[in-house]
Amino acid sequence: MRGIHVALVALFATFGANAFDSDHPDHPLVVSDNLTLSDVVREATVRAGTPELLTAKLAEADAMAREASLALNAPPSLSVRYNGDAPGEDRGLHEIETRLMMALKWPGLRAAQHRVADIAATLATSDSAAGRWRIAGAAREVLWEYQTALDEHDAARSALTLAEDVARNVAARYTAGDLARSDSLLADSERLARARDLAAARVRLLDVERRYTALTGLDEVPASIDEIQQTASGLEQHPLLLAADMHLTRARENVGVQRYAGRTAPQLAIGPRWERGASSDPFADSLGFELSLPFGSAPYSALDTATAEREVTEALIARRNMSRELELALHEAEHDLLATRARRENIDAWATLATERETIAERAFTAGETSLTEFLRIRLEAGAARRAAVVAKDQVGQAIARYNQAIGLIPGGYTETPSR
């Protein structure tokens, strides 16, 4: 992979800025004014299969609810018993008995199953929201990586254009005898250096574009991905915490179900019986009931109950750890946003001063008052300052997106308009 990267950079630098323009446009992704960050997250969510998984989990919860509504603990069974004469006898003895046997649910089990089924549906929705939040984070990151790579690419192209202009100017002055051959070589070296920068920026941009398409399946990007910084009102409604709360609730309710897991279900049997003692006797009809109530089964459900209680402890610890991690992530996002904004102010001031120096140096070079070496040094610094300013602007936008991500906001629940 590194070899391909180096080869692309070398090829681009050799043939210049327009080497791939005919077959490989600079920006294969189409910028769309109609596409929003919410659309990108939705497409990435669909591509990840989150809606399909939600549908499957809701279907599972519905099946759990239907099972909880059943009065029987297992399908009923039908038995038939027949007694007749012993071999060699012909008295006409016949006994025929049929029984419908049903395993009943303990009353507490049925109620516990209903509670778990209700929670399963809510848990499915909470898990789906948590999944969308994670995908939103990935979409935000790759979009800002794309924006930064695009801006760096455009800045590198502008720097190359300036270097080409200087090289042409120096070549003309060398031909006219105003400048030395060394100045012409220096200008050409600067042009090639900027071409290498553009080639490297081009490769980085292509890499991000591929990752964006892999995540979303889209060949378009939003015209704007800037977000408004939202107000954090606490993390109680964070998708990850809501999902953790539901996992804890389900684990607690599951304890009630597992208390019955090792218990033998009560058995109810009902059925008719026909019998006669001899051929001369009429058949006697009767209807019988049998109820079997097991006892002493608590030790047999102790392991299942202990396992369920251990899962409650695990869910409680996971929820507590999740809360701490989210609080730390929010603190880091707040600090990063403040530091990024301060850094941007400093870099913007540097870029303004460096550009002003570049203008003065260009006039001096044109008038023959300064050397080409000094002019190119000042121009290089100004170009670096301008690129840094562009990146700093993108970093502020990315920091805002990360802050909104940290407080649990999924794009679509608030207005996405430029704020930088």
What average pLDDT score do residues 139-153 get?
A: 95
pLDDT at position 413 = 53
Task: State the Cα–Cα distance between residues 38 and 44, nearest whole angstrom.
Answer: 10
Span 216-226, average pLDDT: 94
In DSSP notation, 213-245 reads: HHHH--SEEES----PPPPP--STT-HHHHHHH
Collapsing DSSP to helix, strand or coil, 368 comes out as coil
Q: Which amino acid is at 419?
A: S
Whether residue 147 contacts residue 225, with contact meaning beta carbons closer than 8 Å, is answered with yes
Q: Is the pLDDT of residue 277 over 50?
A: yes
Query: Phi and psi for 351 in degrees, rounded to 5?
Result: -65, -40
Reported confidence tier of residue 1, pLDDT bands at 50, 70, 90: very low
- Tally the residues of the chain: 420
Q: What is the model's pLDDT at position 420?
A: 44
Q: Check: CB of residue 225 under 8 Å from CB of residue 143.
A: yes
Instruction: Give the torsion through C-alpha atoms of 37, 41, 44, 45, to 10 deg.
Output: -170
1 or 407: which leads in pLDDT: 407
- Higher-confidence position of 8 and 271: 271
Task: Provide the token pair at 123.
Answer: 């848990």
Work out the average pLDDT over 251-259: 89
Domain count of the chain? 2
355 & 213 share domain: yes
**Better pLDDT: 299 or 31:** 31
Count other C-beta atoms under 10 Å from residue 277's C-beta: 12
Gap between the Cα atoms of 95 and 283, Å rounded: 9
Lowest mean pLDDT among 4-13, 60-69, 79-88, 279-288: 4-13
Does residue 234 sit in the same domain as residue 267? no
Residue 306 lies in a domain: no
Q: Which of 137-151, 243-257, 299-313 has the lowest mean pLDDT?
A: 299-313
- The reply to whether 231 and 372 lie within a common domain is yes
**Candidate ranges 23-32, 214-223, 249-258; pick with highest mean pLDDT:** 214-223
- Using the predicted structure, report yes or no on whether residue 14 has a pLDDT greater than 50: no
Looking at the predicted structure, is the pLDDT value of residue 21 above 70? no
Instruction: Give the bridge partners for 84, in sequence order.
Output: 94
Predicted pLDDT at 141: 96
Cα-Cα end-to-end distance for the chain? 37
Q: How far apart, in whole angstroms, are the C-alpha atoms of residue 324 and residue 259?
A: 32
What is the arithmetic mean of pLDDT over 47-58?
A: 93
Give the pLDDT confidence score for residue 110 in this predicted structure: 85
Q: pLDDT at residue 232 above 50?
A: yes
* pLDDT value at 5 more than 90: no
Domain match, 193 and 240 both: yes
Say yes or no to pLDDT of 13 above 60: no
Residue 95 parent element (H or E): strand 94-103
Question: What pLDDT, on the 0 to 100 scale, is given for residue 6?
Answer: 41
* Maximum average pLDDT range among 169-173, 179-183, 324-328: 324-328
Same domain for 143 and 288, yes or no, is: no
Given phi > 0 = left and psi -120 to 50 = alpha, else beta, which region is 177? Answer: left
Range of the domain at 30: 2-70+108-262+317-406
Whole-angstrom CA distances from 313 to 124, 248, 307, 309, 406 are: 21, 9, 10, 6, 26
Task: Give the number of C-alpha atoms closer than 13 A to the C-alpha of residue 162, restricted to the C-beta side.
Answer: 18
Mean pLDDT of 333-339: 96
> How confident is the model over 53-63, as a mean pLDDT?
94
Tell whether the model's pLDDT for residue 318 goes beyond 50. yes
Element counts in the chain: helices (H) and strands (E): 8, 6
d(CA 16, CA 45): 40
Residue 123 in domain: yes
Do 146 and 288 reside in the same domain of the chain? no
For residue 10, what is the domain's CATH number? 1.20.1600.10
pLDDT of 214 > 80? The answer is yes
**Averaged pLDDT, 1-10:** 43
Q: Is the pLDDT of residue 274 over 80?
A: yes
- Cα distances from 321 to residues 240, 318, 325, in angstroms, run 11, 5, 6
Cα–Cα distance for residue pair 230/417, rounded to 1 Å: 12
Out of 116-120, 149-153, 410-414, pick the least confident: 410-414
Q: Are 260 and 303 in contact (CB under 8 A)?
A: no
Look at residue 161 in the predicted model and tell me its pLDDT: 92
User: Are 64 and 227 in contact, with CB atoms under 8 Å apart?
Assistant: no
pLDDT band at 299 (very low <50, low <70, confident <90, very high): confident
Query: How would residue 329 be classed by pLDDT, with cut points 50, 70 and 90?
Result: very high
How does the average pLDDT of the chain come out, rounded?
Answer: 87
Confidence of residue 26 (pLDDT cuts 50, 70, 90): low
360 and 270 in a common domain: no
Mean pLDDT, residues 255-260 taken together: 85
What would the mean pLDDT of 92-98 be, rounded to a whole number? Answer: 84
**Alpha-carbon gap, residue 223 to 275, rounded angstroms:** 88
122 assigned to some structural domain: yes
- 351/267 same-domain check: no
Q: What are phi and psi of 57, to 5 degrees?
A: -70, -35
Q: According to the model, what pLDDT value does residue 264 have? A: 79
Q: Comparing C-alpha atoms, which of 120, 132, 3 is closest to residue 67?
A: 120
Is residue 355 over pLDDT 50?
yes
**Residue 303 falls within a domain, yes or no?**
no
Question: Do residue 78 and residue 175 come from a single domain?
Answer: no
Q: Looking at the structure, do residues 253 and 356 belong to the same domain, yes or no?
A: yes
Any domain includes 307: no
Q: Which residue bears the tokens 């549906």?
A: 121
* 290 in a structural domain: yes
In-domain check, residue 51: yes
Does residue 205 share a domain with residue 233?
yes
Q: Is residue 312 part of a domain?
A: no
Spatial strand order in the sheet of 267-276: 77-84, 94-103, 267-276, 284-292
User: Do 229 and 350 belong to one domain?
Assistant: yes
Which structure tokens are listed for 228?
């408004």
Sorting pLDDT into bands at 50, 70 and 90, what band is 112? confident
